[in-house]
Amino acid sequence: MKVLSLLLSFCFLLNLGLAFFANSFKPSKDPFYKAPPDIASYKEGEIIRWRDTPRRIRSLFVPNFRVQSAWQYMVKSTDTHGQPIGIVATLLEPKNADTSKLVAYNYWQDSACVDCAPSYSILFGAGVATVSTQIETIIMDQALARGWYVVATDYEGPNAAFGASVLGGQAVLDAIRGALKSSDKSKLKADAKVAIWGYSGGTIPLSWAGTLQPKYAPELSENLIGVAVGGWATNFTSVIETIDGTMWSGLVGAGVLGITTEYPEIKKDLFNHVGPWHVRRLKKLYDKCLVGTLLAYFQADFFRSRSPIFTEGYAFFKRPEIKTVMDDNTLALDNTRPIPEVPFFVYHGEKDELVPFNNSQRVYDMWCSQGIKSMEFAVSKTSDHTRELLQGMGAALSWLTMRFKGDAPVKGCVRIVRNSNWDYPDANTEANREASASLEKAIQQVIGPFKSGKKDEKDAESSLNAVLDEQAKAAPEEAKADPGEEPLEAPGNPSGDEPEESPESPESPEHTEAEEPTKSGNNTV
């Protein structure tokens, strides 16, 4: 009995120690993420500190993740208001490295929690809450397979300012600057060609990076060869109107909390506009990653219905201080704003139910009217948000490959409508198909439990954790998470919260009518 007691005590302490060790390298606990007091003395993009990643890079969904070496570094950057901040980025060296090519890949962090940052989420031992980032490693692995270095930026900054566009764009540019200064560690050449890529929430920082670059980081013009954006998020207010009351509702809450984090005076007053019975629950989103956020506010009404979480409903956005923030973070709001000088490639599905297609069309029209040098718009007639992620990945990889080969981009503006972006030249390869199939399987495993339309969050949460447990058991040893990590928190309905109503969805913004394809399936404008 004494031996058994000692054994149980040992196991308890071991699991406690493993859990503590896993927590110790979360951004909120790790001193590496804290900017030095003299950060203002550094130049933008200058490396402040550097280290090998504290744990190995892992992917639950990619058995043989093609990473040779991995590093984390902090660079000096600038927030929305011109104040100096430290930004952490992760640089990955592929096993067949081409030291002349770098992709700045931007994950869809989509969270107001600092512990959901990519630099942590892709490490061995990161908790199951970061599983959405794990899904994207499938995409990132395709870049690594081509020998491209990859840099992933914690573009939401030290306060997880989800949706803060200028902050994110400048963070990406400074992370690129830092990567190009790392040759003594990484062997990446200072004159390496650089492409920027991302989907959905990851398009917020990267599209602003492309827009801000001529003024903020003009020296990168020698390196940048293109920006590829898919499921393009350009107008957060429009996204809110589209997804409020749906399975994606949690993004509404996380987005409002995240973007107002960058504006302290607004954040100070924010919860005065929230029903008092919702305040405690809403603040929990500061501690949740994407999937946990979706589970917590599945089909919730933040602004619509007779009793929304934000008591003023959509009138909240008519407040001058709120309208100013939203306008400042809306891309290409008018023709007085700068346009990118780097070639842009956009892929978007007309049937996108999360990020309205018409906003991509609006920015395309605006930039073309302003004389952008090169913009290619690959329109899919059949795909929704998830389907375009699967099908458009091949198109993006094809376009990026052409750019790295030195093939000239389109001149001016070209818009081509296809039945599917699998029809994009050289997109439908066997390797891309295999990656897409893996991506689809991972999405179904993670999103499937609560995409059925059932409003039983606890059942969805239990199903998801079961899937993740099975996935972890099947993963190679080096990819498994630490024992003792916490499962996703069952959301439920906390005591004191009023039951939420689920009225019919408001009318979505009208979509711009697309051109009809020719007999060949393509139409060039």
Residues paired with 193 in a beta bridge: 101
The DSSP call for residue 330 is S
Number of residues that make up the chain: 525
Q: Is the distance from CB of 374 to CB of 339 less than 8 angstroms?
A: no
Cα(248)–Cα(198) distance, integer angstroms: 19
Judged by DSSP in three states, 450 sits in helix
Cα(114)–Cα(41) distance, integer angstroms: 25
- Find, among 382, 160, 354, the residue nearest to 267 by Cα: 160
Q: Which of 385, 423, 436, 438 is catalytic?
A: 385
What string of DSSP letters covers 172-221? HHHHHHHHHT-HHHH---TT-EEEEEEEGGGHHHHHHHHHHHHHH-GGGG
Judged by DSSP in three states, 233 sits in coil
Cα(221)–Cα(393) distance, integer angstroms: 25
Cα(61)–Cα(438) distance, integer angstroms: 8
Residue 129: what are its φ and ψ, rounded to 5°? Answer: -60, -25
- Find, among 62, 174, 185, the residue nearest to 122 by Cα: 62
Quick count: other Cβ atoms within 10 Å of Cβ 486?
11
- How crowded is the C-beta side of 292, counted as CA atoms within 13 Å? 25
Q: Which of 200, 238, 360, 438 is catalytic?
A: 200
Residues paired with 194 in a beta bridge: 102, 224
Active-site residue, 111 included = no
Q: Which of 352, 360, 380, 420 is catalytic?
A: 352
Cα(89)–Cα(424) distance, integer angstroms: 32
- Find, among 55, 90, 66, the residue nearest to 148 by Cα: 66
> What CA–CA distances, in Å, run from 421 to 33, 149, 399?
39, 25, 12
**Could you tell me whether strands 344-349 and 224-230 are parallel, antiparallel, or unpaired per DSSP bridges?**
parallel
Cα(479)–Cα(131) distance, integer angstroms: 13
Active-site residue, 121 included = no
Residues 6 or more apart in contact with residue 481 via CB below 8 angstroms: 22, 58, 60, 124, 125, 126, 127, 128, 472
Residue 409 corresponds to which amino acid? P
Residue 66: what are its φ and ψ, rounded to 5°? Answer: -85, 60
- Find, among 417, 431, 414, the residue nearest to 383 by Cα: 417
**Considering just the CA atoms, what is the radius of gyration of the chain in Å?**
22
**Could you tell me whether strands 47-52 and 67-78 are parallel, antiparallel, or unpaired per DSSP bridges?**
antiparallel
Active-site residue, 352 included = yes
Active site residues: 200, 352, 385
